Amino acid sequence: MRKDNLLCLRKKKHWIATTDSRHGLRVYPNLASSMTVTDINQLWVADITYIRLRYEFVFLAAILDVFSRKAIGWALSRQLDASLTVAALLMAIRGREIRSGLVHHSDRGVQYASSEYTDVLKKHGIAISMSRKGNPYDNAIAESFMKTLKTEEVYLNEYDGFSSTLENLGRFIEIVYTTKRLHSSLGYRPPEEFESLIQTQKASHQFA
């Protein structure tokens, strides 16, 4: 079969590490592990993943609100550096209310430990939390979002280039995931609807 070229050749899978924790930057303690989240804007979680295009790789950084599972900040780039994660963070900050006690949790990767990133968090009074070394469960919610995005969007499409990837991911995150996709942890509501419900309940209790 080999001689007649009849063997089924498996396509090699390409894997790119997005977390480089081998750096000399400060690593912050895990604050998220001891938190009981009861409202939005108490705990944000961040993560990075790679997306393989036809001729290149691009990188997606995202930030989620743990209570509502809403993707509140995201950015796409050809470069895996601090500018990618800072762009996602600034989007989250622009769109949310920064409350006292807000915690931002991520892995120990250099993009999150960099001064460019931590300085933005400190400037806005956001506490910094990082996962324990070698513990994949510390950032499970962010990683679950990335898995959902890849399973329900990325793996079902073959993007031609950066602009089409940006357009398709934006549609999935902002429309499908945020306003349509049901989450069992939210009472089978999408994040946008769940947050609206929480705000309505707060208002009714305030004027009761």
CA 143 vs. chain centroid, Å, equals: 7
pLDDT at 203: 83
Q: Specify the pTM.
A: 0.87
The Cα 108–Cα 78 span in angstroms is: 21
CA 123 vs. chain centroid, Å, equals: 21
pLDDT at 23: 61
- Helix residue ranges, H only, 45-171: 82-95, 110-113, 115-123, 140-152, 162-171
Over pLDDT 70: what percentage of the chain? 85
The Cα 41–Cα 44 span in angstroms is: 7
Q: Residue 204: what are its φ and ψ, rounded to 5°?
A: -65, -35
The domain 32-206 is classified under which CATH number: 3.40.228.10, 3.40.50.720, 2.60.40.60, 3.30.420.10?
3.30.420.10
- Residue-averaged pLDDT of the chain: 89
Residue with tokens 């070698």: 134
Residue ranges per domain, the chain?
A: 32-206
First to last CA, the chain: 78
41-66: average pLDDT:
96
